[in-house]
Amino acid sequence: MVAPRNVPPFLGILKHPFLLMQTRLSLPLIALILLVSSPLEARTWWNDAWNAREKFTLDTTDNGVALPDEPGTATILVRLHDGILDFSQCKEDGTDLRFVDGDDKTLLASQIEKFDPVMNEGFVWVKIPNIKPGESRDIYMYYARNEKKKPGKGEKTDLPKTAYDSDTVSVYHFNEHGTPPGDSAGNGVRAETPGIPVEGSMIGGGVKLDGKKPITIPANPSAAILEAAPFTWMCFVKPTSLDPGSIIYSRKDGANGLKIGLESGAPFFEISNVSGTQRSAQASPLAVGSWKHLALVSDGTRTTLYADGNAIANLPVAIPAMNGPTSIGGEEDKASFKGELDEMETSKLARSAGFIKLAALGQGQQNAKLLVSGKPEAAKVSLLDSLGLFGYLLKSVTIDAWVVIGVLGIMSLISWIVMVAKNNYIKSLSKGSKEFINQWHHLSKDITALDTEDAEKIASLGGGADPAHIKFIHSTPIYRVYHLGCEEIRQRIALGEGLSHRAMEAIEATMEAQVTRESTRLSSMMVLLTICIAGGPYVGLLGTIIGVMITFGEIAMLGEVDINAIAPGIAAALLATVAGLVVAIPALFGYNYLSVQVKDITTDLRLFVEEFLARMAECYPEKNDASH
């Protein structure tokens, strides 16, 4: 006897061809999910809201600007032109420019002095911490801000108010037009009188003095100088005449005073106090019409004058206490200097020789050697970025929400495996059942063909079935019901009992029980679909509630309400609910479809049992039970 192949569709998953197919299909799906969540190229990128960047290398080695000692934190000038930056990709005022340290994480403070997209020219001051001599250090300039993308929660992209350290007292770029010069260090000390504006000065705009009226800066507590306190003054100077007694910078408070000027072009400084006045030795004169960087540094015991980063004079005296007004281009109401000035800075710290040289050469003639520009780079977008708003929401999903979405993903994968495998299994049963019915219709005309002890003949439907189709037919529920009925008839005929009324009832009960077992087999694993239908939305809702709770908790910790911080978090939390519905809706449709298919097969089985019993009653006359 050939035993029917009775292999459950969901036992031995690796042996079932349809489940094997689904397993193979699921692997590319998992790979796609991993690919979507990762960038196309493994590379650090400070913030995805910026589409382009350019690397600059700060070179303080002998190939760049060699420094005598460590300057520490300094504000470096970045000169921009169309050979470095595509101005068309930036905002008109350049406010989308961001500078990031070499770790590609630390945002550097910066300040724009000038940004002209028409002339393709820009000057930006960037504060770089812990500069050391003999190093080659990278920084990145990010630009081309994508306004459709918002920085993630907790990401700092706003610039500080100033690009100078706390020891800087005042910085005057002299880039105003017709208004008094303003302080860019953040202390708000603005001059009372304007100078003559000059375009194309040493660094952007400058100021011109004609020897008629100095620029006056009023006294301010933040600019007060304490007795013997550290002090630094720096400025770019371009004399147009070498007159004697030309005062560039002066300050006076009673008997105490400070003057920095040119004596027939030779730089000098003069310090006055109650003990008298001391003046530095005469240095080499400046050239008319040429820029020179002058600096004065006092450490509280000695004061030194620098020209282009080199010490040219000094006195063993400190700066006295002063809190009076400051005059630029003369002293009090008397003007004397004729020429241009640019980038005047004062500090309440004795800047190092390295700091002075870095400012003199780095801001001036050797800026291109100090700061070497690289090639522009475009952002490497991930597949999430290419999805637009939906991709942005995915990147805003928190870890807890990803856990929930991961659970829902597993539920969805299981439901699809169940639906596809079950559908394929039912289709295969339908084909086998159709072949069986074709053979059965021929056999049912003479069911006595089963009145034999030849088990092979019974299994092959009286020998009428094609041998090539027998194994295919054996896998169907309708064949198993038929085979069970044949076995019952054969056993009774073999014993010579015939078919009594009681025997026919027993055969009917046996076949009905097999129909019930086949129906149960067909409905196996359908409970997983009901779990996905009922549980998917609730699991998604749980993820949404947790996400909303975390979002509001973060807002409470920050102590401020920002729609840009709230909206992405809540929108991302709602993705969990969407994921729950994505699990439940296909499972619901699949469950209803498969339930109808299972019901149709079960109905066909019951109709077959009735037809089998009717043919059996016709072909085998009923015997009287009493005869037994």
In the structure encoding, which two tokens stand for residue 222, read together? 């933040």
Q: Could you tell me which residues come within 8 angstroms of residue 531 by beta carbon, excluding any fewer than 6 positions away?
A: 411
Query: Does residue 169 contact residue 229 with C-beta atoms inside 8 Å?
Result: no
Give the residue-averaged pLDDT of 244-265: 94
Reduce the DSSP state of residue 419 to 3 states and report it: helix
**Closest among 519, 511, 426, 429 to 474, alpha carbons compared:** 429
pLDDT in tens, 20-34: 444 444 444 444 444
In the structure encoding, which two tokens stand for residue 70, read together? 């460590």
Give the DSSP H/E element, type plus range, for residue 495: none
Q: Write out the CATH class of domain 168-348.
A: mainly beta
Q: Kindly report the CA angle at 371 between 365 and 373, in degrees rounded to 5?
A: 120
**Integer Cα distance of 267 and 604 in angstroms:** 112
Confidence of residue 464 (pLDDT cuts 50, 70, 90): low
Query: Does residue 144 contact residue 96 with C-beta atoms inside 8 Å?
Result: yes
Query: Does residue 278 contact residue 367 with C-beta atoms inside 8 Å?
Result: no
**Integer Cα distance of 187 and 561 in angstroms:** 29
Question: Which of residues 488 and 250 earns the better pLDDT score?
Answer: 250
Question: Which of residues 17 and 289 earns the better pLDDT score?
Answer: 289
Delimiting residues of CATH 2.60.120.200 domain(s) in the chain: 168-348
Q: Whose structure tokens read 């999903």?
A: 397
Identify the pLDDT of residue 431. 78
pLDDT in tens, 55-94: 999 999 999 999 999 999 999 999 999 989 999 999 999 9
pLDDT in tens, 260-282: 999 999 999 999 999 999 999 98
- Helix axis angle for 563-619 and 501-522, nearest 10°, is 160
Reduce the DSSP state of residue 270 to 3 states and report it: strand
Identify the pLDDT of residue 17. 41
Q: Whose structure tokens read 């003199």?
A: 360
Question: Which of residues 475 and 456 earns the better pLDDT score?
Answer: 475
Identify the pLDDT of residue 150. 67
Identify the pLDDT of residue 524. 85
Q: Could you tell me which residues come within 8 angstroms of residue 603 by beta carbon, excluding any fewer than 6 positions away?
A: none
Identify the pLDDT of residue 379. 79
Reduce the DSSP state of residue 58 to 3 states and report it: strand
Percent of the chain with pLDDT over 70: 80
Percent of the chain with pLDDT over 90: 44
Query: Does residue 411 contact residue 583 with C-beta atoms inside 8 Å?
Result: yes
Give the residue-averaged pLDDT of 358-362: 92
Question: Which of residues 384 and 500 earns the better pLDDT score?
Answer: 500
Identify the pLDDT of residue 23. 42
572 vs 366, 582, 611, CA distance in Å? 50, 15, 59
Write a three-state SS string for 460-487.
Answer: CCCCCCCHHHHHHHHCCHHHHHHHHHHH
Burial class (CB in 10 A: 0-12, 13-18, 19+), 123: buried
Confidence of residue 43 (pLDDT cuts 50, 70, 90): low
Sign (positive or negative) of CA dihedral 353, 358, 359, 361:
positive
Question: Which of residues 148 and 115 earns the better pLDDT score?
Answer: 115
Query: Does residue 366 contact residue 59 with C-beta atoms inside 8 Å?
Result: no
pLDDT of 427 strictly over 60: yes
Query: Does residue 133 contact residue 155 with C-beta atoms inside 8 Å?
Result: no
**Integer Cα distance of 351 and 293 in angstroms:** 15
Q: Whose structure tokens read 């796609």?
A: 32
**Integer Cα distance of 167 and 346 in angstroms:** 9
Give the residue-averaged pLDDT of 517-522: 85
Confidence of residue 499 (pLDDT cuts 50, 70, 90): confident
Confidence of residue 628 (pLDDT cuts 50, 70, 90): very low
Beta bridge partners of 347: 168, 232
Q: Within the chain, what is the greatest distance between any pair of CA atoms?
A: 151
Query: Does residue 52 contact residue 144 with C-beta atoms inside 8 Å?
Result: yes
79 vs 51, 141, 223, 280, CA distance in Å? 21, 12, 29, 35
Identify the pLDDT of residue 470. 67
pLDDT in tens, 157-192: 778 778 899 999 999 999 888 889 999 888 778 898
Identify the pLDDT of residue 496. 66
Mean residue pLDDT across the chain: 82
